[in-house]
Amino acid sequence: MCGIVGFTGHRPAAGILLEGLAKLEYRGYDSAGLAVYGGDGSVHVVKATGKLKNLIEKTDNGRSLPGSCGIGHTRWATHGEPNEKNAHPHVSGGFREDSSDYSDTAVIGVHNGIIENYEELREKLQRHGYVFYSDTDTEVAIKTVDYYYKKYKIGPIDAINRMMVRVRGSYALALMFQDYPGEIYAARKDSPMIIGVSDDESFLASDATAMLGYTREVYYIGNLQAARLLPGEVHFFDLNGDEISIPKAEVTWDEKGAEKNGYEHFMMKEMHEQPEAVRATLDSVLREERMSPAAKWSFGAGTLDFSGVGLPDEYLESIDAMTIVACGSAWHVGMAAQYVIEELAEIPVRVELASEYRYRKILSPANAVVLVISQSGETADSLEALRISKQMGIRTIGLVNVEGSSIAREADKILYTKAGPEIAVATTKAYTAQLALVYAFAVRLAFVKKKIDEDTYRKYVQELKSLPDHLTSLLDGKGRIQWLAAKYAGTKDAFFIGRGQDYAIGLEGSLKLKEISYMHSEAYAAGELKHGTISLIEDGTPVIGILTQERLLEKTISNLKECKTRGAYVIGITNAENPLVEECLDFVLRIPATDDHFAGLLAVVPLQLLGYYSSVSRGLDVDKPRNLAKSVTVE
């Protein structure tokens, strides 16, 4: 989704803004633009469609835009096609074709989000003489600020507040007013924005990665709040225009997390970071019992303890039902978690797509909790599902990767994955870290609810601790998957089948393949294929069976045989030492032996690699697949 940046200080702004936009490229975009105050009081706006390098070339790497205060934007088109007129920044006046310039730049702004009532507002502004040059809702928001600013002759914060009262929807807005050179104004509702400050510079961005090279001291601006940024100084205001104070926070993420470190793609780097992401995530809920802190990772030692993250045993004990709400891959984590929590802790778990949950009648059982899983913590549907649950008085837990994100701030309780910044659009390390954390949660819940005995509990904790090493060994054997991907690079369709948790892992494998290789693929519960979809199987169609649940193995193998009989090339991912596997399958990928409850976390890695190598074999943009955005902040 769109990325916004802002900078005010005492050195050239354009280069810093372009650098920030480059860090936000991963979010997905199709055009970009900059506005910078010239020293003479004028404001220069430059836009370019396509990749950021076009804007970099057009501005001679920012050198053609002198000035030390500016805003920038990468646009992921929602209202209006991706062309230069629709690209941000947008301004008060009209566009003059003759001079390729704007008639009035009193107010200039960039926006992430959606203004829902933009048509009604545009008509009103047109009645007041405003002429629109773009199809965007953003231009309407900027001109609405301009309207109040000029009509009532009020200051920027008052004009912004009037706009906030008038518009419906979501926004992270960064604005400049020509009468206030060197200052940036910001407003936020339901779209991500973070404000950073150093000794004599101030920054604004959609997320911290864009400013980590300059500062770690940040403010999380709240909903319906506005800000005024001066060099090294930030002031916050509520909707009444009264100045408010917001605590300063420190970003703990390592800047290196947002760099490729020698890997060809972020996705490959992030897959290799999985052992550490899972280890760090488990470490946050693993406590030593008798020995030194380091001993918790040694054999036989350590216990799970969620009290440090606000979920003491009494809280866990009181959970009698769960609803897991999420989108995309995070929803797949929920699907896998459902099997493990129900099996171990013996409580009913329902898994819902956030985009559906928010519009249905919610019937929550007594003593239930809603667990919202989200890497970014900003996904619009997931955030809304959280809010609806809270309004209904249901207890909420957020399971989030990004510190200080909206879901992290609004959930009653928060569990953090420790995956660090994830840049590739296709999630990998955040997914496995989420899975590891829900496994650990399920194990502790089962123990607290006395559904497993002490020995079984200890065994499970041991199994969890072995996952990071297993992940390392899996990644070491990636060569065979590269071969497989190259062999099937030209294939039309692929199918993933499994039962129980294996079905959930198949869903993720299928998404990984299609989102970055653009190859059609579907995941099915293994027993469901013959109810229609099997008609698509032709000679050579790859069918991938996930076979990690011993008690379901023979059933899924029979389903694979049904496909093989119809010409499919059958591939199996398994931890099983069962002669049937070699007998029936054309290609076997083995994963390290672990308890079946946790094997899904290992089985997904070959599937991630398959998606990755298929994309590479087809010469595609692995990290930034077409049409997709990393953080989906609109409904």
Which of 379/510 has CB closer to ligand F6R? 379
Q: What is the DSSP letter of 89?
A: P
The minimum distance between CB 431 and ligand F6R, in angstroms, equals 7
Q: C-alpha 315: how far from its chain's center? A: 28
Which of 136/376 has CB closer to ligand F6R? 376
What is the length of the chain? 635
The minimum distance between CB 539 and ligand F6R, in angstroms, equals 30
Q: What is the DSSP letter of 454?
A: H
Residues 6+ apart with CB under 8 A from 128: 147
The minimum distance between CB 119 and ligand F6R, in angstroms, equals 28
Q: From the candidates 2, 69, 327, 563, which is the catalytic residue?
A: 2
Which of 138/428 has CB closer to ligand F6R? 428
Q: What sign has the CA pseudo-torsion 375, 376, 381, 386?
A: positive
Nearest to 71 by CA among 99, 34, 101, 102: 34
Residue type, 3: G
Cis peptide before 89 (omega within 30 of 0): yes
Which of 328/468 has CB closer to ligand F6R? 328
3 state SS for 80-112: CCCCCCCCCCEECCCEECCCCEECCCCEEEEEE
Q: From the candidates 23, 47, 189, 630, which is the catalytic residue?
A: 630
Which of 109/606 has CB closer to ligand F6R? 606
Strands 413-416 and 368-374: unpaired
CA-CA distance, 567 to 572, in Å (whole number)? 16
Tokens of 46: 């430059």
Q: C-alpha 252: how far from its chain's center? A: 18
Which of 185/331 has CB closer to ligand F6R? 331
CA-CA distance, 633 to 635, in Å (whole number)? 7
The minimum distance between CB 354 and ligand F6R, in angstroms, equals 8
The minimum distance between CB 300 and ligand F6R, in angstroms, equals 35
Residue type, 229: L
Rg (CA), the chain: 26
The minimum distance between CB 511 and ligand F6R, in angstroms, equals 6
Which of 379/575 has CB closer to ligand F6R? 379
Cis peptide before 12 (omega within 30 of 0): no
- List beta partners, residue 250: 217
CA-CA distance, 512 to 510, in Å (whole number)? 5
Q: Let me know if 450 is a catalytic residue.
A: no
Residue type, 422: E
96 burial level (CB within 10 Å; 0-12, 13-18, 19+)? exposed
What is the number of the residue whose Cβ is closest to ligand F6R? 328
Q: Let me know if 584 is a catalytic residue.
A: no
Residues 6+ apart with CB under 8 A from 356: none
* 8 A C-beta contact, residue 440 and residue 282: yes
The minimum distance between CB 206 and ligand F6R, in angstroms, equals 13
Which of 202/375 has CB closer to ligand F6R? 375
What values do phi and psi take at 597, rounded to 5?
Answer: -60, -30
CA-CA distance, 552 to 261, in Å (whole number)? 41
The minimum distance between CB 612 and ligand F6R, in angstroms, equals 12
477 burial level (CB within 10 Å; 0-12, 13-18, 19+)? middle
CA-CA distance, 549 to 241, in Å (whole number)? 59
The minimum distance between CB 203 and ligand F6R, in angstroms, equals 23
Which parts of this chain interact with ligand F6R (CB under 6 A)?
327-330, 374-376, 379, 382, 426-427, 511, 515, 631-632
CA-CA distance, 43 to 41, in Å (whole number)? 7
Instruction: Name residue, tokens 């470490």.
Output: 283
Cα-Cα-Cα-Cα dihedral of 495, 499, 502, 507, to 10°?
40
412 burial level (CB within 10 Å; 0-12, 13-18, 19+)? middle
CA-CA distance, 153 to 356, in Å (whole number)? 45
Which of 6/404 has CB closer to ligand F6R? 404
Which of 13/354 has CB closer to ligand F6R? 354
Residues belonging to the active site: 2, 630
